[in-house]
Amino acid sequence: MAYKLIVAEASPSIQKAIQLAFAAADWDIVPFDNGLELTKMIFEVRPDGLLVSLSLPGLDGYSVGRFVRKQEEFRHAALVFMKGVFEVFDPQRAEGVSYDELVSKPFDSVKLAMRMKNLIDAKGEHSGFPESPIPTEGAGKQPSATPAASLFPPGPPAAVPDDLEHRLQEWLRRELVGVEREVEKRVRLQISTELKRWFAEHYIGMPSKEK
């Protein structure tokens, strides 16, 4: 039986990379590019896990995660947050949200698929026996963001077709380059504006703000 996974991501290229890496035979991917739409449809989708970008229109990832965890039937669903390369994670906004992992884009989609499967399998065993009197070690504690080095279990990586790996890396590279160019453009515009203002004040004789 396929795992049902919600992927909430505004970038079409990252959505595509994830859908290619998560094998169709094992995964039923339900994509969303808007956090509010996700919360409206989650009871129809009934996911086993969620990959949620922190930056989403409608409702951001923090709000989506909080909504998901308030629903009893999704309390044990695997929840992984994704953050952008220039995005700073805000632990205060995530307070009270029991997410499982925090991954940074760009990431290895194939390894992420393996990790997501392990999370869902582990939580499936736990949620299948809610009446168990034996608590899990560390139960009730807020999980912290997992460092990138420990995100995936040790051991030799699974064999990945060279063509698929190359295409995934190329899509993620283009996405990262696009973000870098946008940041560079904004910085140049800001510097240009400041230089024009300074030149006008010092050489054209614009009136000073000082009395």
Mean pLDDT over residues 56-66, rounded?
94
Q: What single DSSP character describes residue 74?
A: G
Contacts of 36 (CB under 8 A, 6+ apart): 57, 58, 59
pLDDT at residue 31, rounded to an integer: 95
State residue 113 phi and psi, 5-degree precision: -60, -40
Query: Is the pLDDT reported for residue 32 higher than 70?
Result: yes
Q: Distance between CA atoms of 133 and 166, rounded to whole angstroms?
A: 48
Please return the burial class of 187, using the count of CB atoms within 10 Å of its CB with bins 0-12, 13-18 and 19+. exposed
pLDDT at residue 145, rounded to an integer: 45
Q: Give tens-digit pLDDT for 114-125.
A: 999 999 998 874
Q: Give tens-digit pLDDT for 134-188.
A: 334 444 444 444 444 444 455 554 555 566 666 666 666 676 666 666 666 666 6
| Identity at 119, one-letter amino acid code | L
Q: How confident is the model at residue 127 (pLDDT cuts 50, 70, 90)?
A: very low
Q: Which two tokens stand for residue 7?
A: 């992927």
Question: Could you tell me which CATH class the domain 3-154 is placed in?
Answer: alpha beta
CB–CB of 52/8 below 8 Å? yes
